[in-house]
Amino acid sequence: MIPFFKICIIGSGNVSYTFSNVLKNNGINPKYILIRNVDKIPEVESLFGVETVADYDIISDCDLIIVAVNDDSIKDVASNLKNFKGLVVHTSGTQFSSVLDCVDNYGVLYPLQTLTKGFDVDFKMVPLLINASSSDNLNKLKHLADLLSEFVIECSDEDRSYIHMSAVYVSNFVNVMLQIGNKLLANKGLDVSVLNPLVRETINKSFALGPENALTGPAKRGDVNTIDKHKFMLKDNVEEKQIYELLTNYIINKY
């Protein structure tokens, strides 16, 4: 049995939606979803399937509050929880746990994964990075996290921030590279799906051999003629050409 009987999730975005579903999938029904916009209560309640409220007094009897809002709003949310006696955790990769130190018991429950409403992930395989304001709170949080994921990592605020920064490179920036590749092909009326097998093999080989050993391409082999041809082809795509040149120079200088 988990050490929490009544759980409230604050927020209505991707992370909030995911945690609501993951909890329910593990037999734990959140008591409330709390949002600020009263007008959106029916919409959120229908989407989440959880009683949705906008009054902090209603959630005062909960013993765990998961603050799943954007980073800039965490401190403001915490200011409404000063008298709350249960455990309050946020889900941010960059904010230190101390942003919640206006409450007695606080911590972090950060899922290291890209999350989107309507796109399910295997949450058992999602690393959950946790820490808390006391060993007792950490034990409680770990008990819950272990039910949700097979990869629970106790992690300091500073280490979590570095992990989050690295994740931007391997997730967000990779996604933008895919967008650029698709755009360049689509502009020529070419089928973007031709890149899909290459993308999969690139990632698989990187995992198998390590990124340094898996890297191929004109910059790695110093193929100046091909690089110059590519830059000419990009003459009308100024931003994309700048990115190409920056990454090409990085590879040439590194290898």
Final residue of a domain: which of 155, 183, 212? 155
**Distance from chain centroid for Cα 84:** 27
Q: Are 141 and 87 in contact (CB under 8 A)?
A: yes
Please state the domain count of the chain. 2
Residues contacting residue 38 through CB under 8 Å, at least 6 positions apart: 54
| pLDDT at 1 exceeding the cut of 80 | no
Identify the CA nearest to 112 among candidates 125, 128, 96.
128
Tens of pLDDT, residue by residue over 38-63, are: 999 999 999 899 999 999 999 999 99
With respect to residue 2, please indicate whether it lies within any of the assigned structural domains.
Answer: no
Confidence of residue 118 (pLDDT cuts 50, 70, 90): confident
Q: Are 130 and 110 in contact (CB under 8 A)?
A: yes
Judgement on whether residues 23 and 107 belong to the same structural domain of the protein: yes
Identify the CA nearest to 62 among candidates 7, 137, 10.
7
Judgement on whether residues 207 and 143 belong to the same structural domain of the protein: no
Tens of pLDDT, residue by residue over 219-255, are: 999 999 999 999 999 999 999 999 999 999 999 999 9
Judgement on whether residues 148 and 203 belong to the same structural domain of the protein: no
Q: What is the DSSP letter of 100?
A: G
Residue 27's CATH number: 3.40.50.720
Decide the pairing of beta strands 105-111 and 128-132. antiparallel
| pLDDT at 3 exceeding the cut of 90 | no
Q: Where is pLDDT greater, at 37 or 202?
A: 202
Judgement on whether residues 117 and 190 belong to the same structural domain of the protein: no
Range of the domain at 239: 161-254
| pLDDT at 112 exceeding the cut of 80 | yes
Q: What is the percentage of the chain residues whose pLDDT exceeds 90?
A: 96
Judgement on whether residues 146 and 87 belong to the same structural domain of the protein: yes
Judgement on whether residues 145 and 204 belong to the same structural domain of the protein: no
Q: Are 205 and 214 in contact (CB under 8 A)?
A: yes
Judgement on whether residues 192 and 124 belong to the same structural domain of the protein: no
Final residue of a domain: which of 138, 155, 172? 155
Judgement on whether residues 86 and 51 belong to the same structural domain of the protein: yes
Neighbours of 70 (CB within 10 A): 11
With respect to residue 101, please indicate whether it lies within any of the assigned structural domains.
Answer: yes
Final residue of a domain: which of 123, 155, 187? 155
Residue 254: is it exposed, middle or buried by C-beta count within 10 angstroms (0-12/13-18/19+)? exposed
Range in 115-124, 132-141, 147-156, 219-228 the model is least confident about = 115-124
Judgement on whether residues 89 and 12 belong to the same structural domain of the protein: yes
Residue 208's CATH number: 1.10.1040.20
Q: Long-range contacts of range 30-38, CB-CB < 8 Å, 24 or more positions apart?
A: 31/6, 31/7, 31/59, 31/62, 32/8, 32/58, 32/59, 32/62, 33/8, 33/9, 34/8, 34/9, 34/10, 34/58, 34/59, 35/10, 35/11
Query: 3-state class of 64 per DSSP?
Result: strand
**Mean pLDDT, residues 85-99:** 98
